[in-house]
């Protein structure tokens, strides 16, 4: 029985397969977008009426919807391990959220093969912007040791509990975000990921690429720039303030804030699609 079902399906699209016989010189690009803690019914294409997601809805209308697709596990690190390796919980290296102080999670093994490694071996440029959570840079689980040319974002899941962190990583280099204090700031990571994603597409347009976008929104903390919050503030009925007692940042209007985070993430999806169309890559790119 195949344990790597989605990996196997993607590999059917690569050079040498029947599906790719018409264009051996240029196999399809792949963009995989992961929204952290997003509920299925929080998208318009699945019936949501209050939160606006026009770009994701457009993808669903022009493509297909998955109504029986589940994450590999109900918690973060093992579900990401299942996604990257194609293995279920009986076989994955990571089976719970286990931190490794001072920063990071228990790493996947050097011998764990990821979809990124398989695609890189086929000549793909590979990049990721968002949250990794499968091992720090100095461990066997570093994304740089599992096929990624570029990783920009949070390596550690706990670090990702703020969207205004004091620092972020580009590969194994720590980048200070001096305008942020963890609670608020000028550099919202979702926007930073968007800029990096568009730049990666531009720089990789001459060859096939795999772009993995494990966005942190809409996972708490509820934090979003005011220009997005304004669209929903006072419009979602009773919206009691969250006091932050469970360990995340407090927010005066968490329902409006959450909705705004989802819509801002949807805006990024739209801009990624616009970039693909601008470069005439949209007809040869699989977007999930």
Which candidate, 277, 288, 270, places its Cα nearest to that of 10?
A: 288
Mean pLDDT of 107-135: 97
Over the chain, what is the mean pLDDT? 92
Q: Where are the domains of the chain?
A: 30-73+114-287
- pLDDT higher than threshold 70 for residue 15: no
| In the chain, % of residues over pLDDT 70 | 92
Confidence (pTM)? 0.93
- Coarse DSSP helix, strand, coil percentages of the chain, rounded to the nearest 5 percent: 35, 15, 50
CATH 3.30.2270.10 fits 30-73+114-287, yes or no: no
Which token pair is 133?
Answer: 């959570």
pLDDT digits (tens, 9 = 90+) for 138-170: 999 999 999 999 999 999 999 999 999 999 999
pLDDT at 189: 98
Strand order in the sheet with 209-215: 173-176, 167-170, 150-154, 125-131, 209-215, 29-35, 285-287
Q: What is the pLDDT of residue 18?
A: 45
pLDDT tens, residue by residue, 238-285: 999 999 988 899 999 999 999 999 999 999 999 999 999 999 999 999
Report residue 14's pLDDT band, with 50, 70 and 90 as the boundaries.
Answer: low
pLDDT of residue 10: 60
């Amino acid at each position: 029985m195949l344990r790597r079902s989605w990996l196997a399906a993607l590999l059917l699209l690569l050079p040498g397969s029947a599906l790719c016989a018409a264009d051996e010189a240029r196999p399809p690009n792949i963009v995989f977008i992961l929204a952290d803690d997003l509920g299925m019914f929080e998208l318009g294409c699945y019936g949501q009426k209050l939160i606006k997601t026009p770009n994701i809805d457009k993808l669903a209308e022009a493509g297909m919807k998955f109504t029986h697709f589940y994450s590999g596990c109900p918690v973060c690190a093992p579900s990401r391990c299942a996604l990257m390796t194609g293995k279920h919980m009986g076989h994955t290296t990571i089976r719970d959220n286990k931190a490794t102080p001072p920063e990071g999670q228990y790493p996947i093994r050097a011998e764990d093969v990821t979809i990124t490694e398989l695609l890189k071996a086929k000549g793909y440029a590979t990049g990721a912007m968002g949250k990794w959570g499968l091992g720090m840079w100095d461990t066997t689980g570093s994304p740089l040791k599992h096929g990624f040319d570029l990783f920009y974002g949070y390596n550690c899941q706990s670090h990702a509990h703020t969207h205004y962190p004091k620092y972020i990583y580009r590969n194994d280099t720590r980048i200070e975000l001096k305008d942020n204090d963890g609670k608020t700031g000028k550099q919202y990571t979702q926007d930073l990921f968007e800029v990096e994603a568009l730049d990666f597409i531009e720089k990789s347009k001459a060859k096939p690429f795999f772009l993995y976008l494990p966005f942190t929104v809409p996972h708490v903390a509820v934090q979003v720039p005011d220009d997005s919050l304004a669209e929903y503030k006072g419009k979602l009925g009773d919206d009691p303030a969250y006091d932050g007692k469970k360990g995340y940042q407090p927010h005066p209007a968490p329902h409006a804030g959450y909705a705004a985070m989802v819509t801002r993430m949807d805006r990024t999806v739209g801009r990624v699609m616009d970039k693909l169309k601008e470069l005439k890559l949209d007809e040869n790119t699989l977007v999930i």
